[in-house]
Amino acid sequence: MPDTGYLIAAVAVAVAVTWALRALPFAALAPLRSSPLIAYLGAVMPVGVMVILTGYTLRAFDPQAPDRAGPTVLALACTVALHLWRRNVLLSIFGGTAVHVALASTLFAH
């Protein structure tokens, strides 16, 4: 088990890097805010950023391993279907995760 001193240092490092990445660009990008290019990037980026992050969380996906891939595919389908149907963020996340946990812990358990 990691000791407390190490954990505190690890948290401090993660906080410092994360905060710096969130705060410093405001100073660097401030002069660019009014440019049409920046407005364009600000408008089109969100959907792409979320698609990339979704892909990133699925990086361990392996169609050759049906016990892991099965729950992922079914839960993803449930999340998308629920969200297209009800448009309720909370319901979609809860529903998709519940399906994934249920499948991964029972039918597809190792």
Partner 1 sequence: MPSAERAGPLPAAPVPDRGLVPDLVRALKDSGSVGLGAFPIGVAFGVLVVHSGLEWWWASVFSSLIFAGSLEFLFLGLVLAAAPLASIAVTAFLVNCRHVFYALSFPLHRVRGRLRKGYSTFALTDEAYAVTAGEAARSFSSRRILWLQGFVHLYWAGGATTGALLGSVVPAQVTGLDFAVTALFTVLAIDAFRDRRDIPTPLLALACVLVGRFAFPDQMLPVAFTLFTAGLLARHAWTRRGSTHA
Residues in contact with partner 1 by CB under 8 A are: 1-2, 6-7, 9-11, 13-15, 17-19, 21-23, 25-26, 28-29, 32-33, 37-38, 40-59, 71-72, 75-76, 79-80, 83-84, 88-90, 92-94, 96-97, 100-101, 103-105, 109
Q: How far is the CB of 51 from partner 1 (least distance, A)?
A: 4
HSE of 61, CA atoms in CB hemisphere, 13 A: 15
Angstrom distances, CA of residue 91 to CA of 57, 66, 86: 20, 26, 8
* CB of 46 or CB of 64, closer to partner 1: 46
Q: How far is the CB of 54 from partner 1 (least distance, A)?
A: 4
Rg (CA), the chain: 20
Q: Which residues contact 29 (CB under 8 A, 6 or more apart)?
A: 38
* Distance, CA of 81 to CA of 87 (rounded, Å): 9
* CB of 37 or CB of 64, closer to partner 1: 37
Q: How far is the CB of 15 from partner 1 (least distance, A)?
A: 5
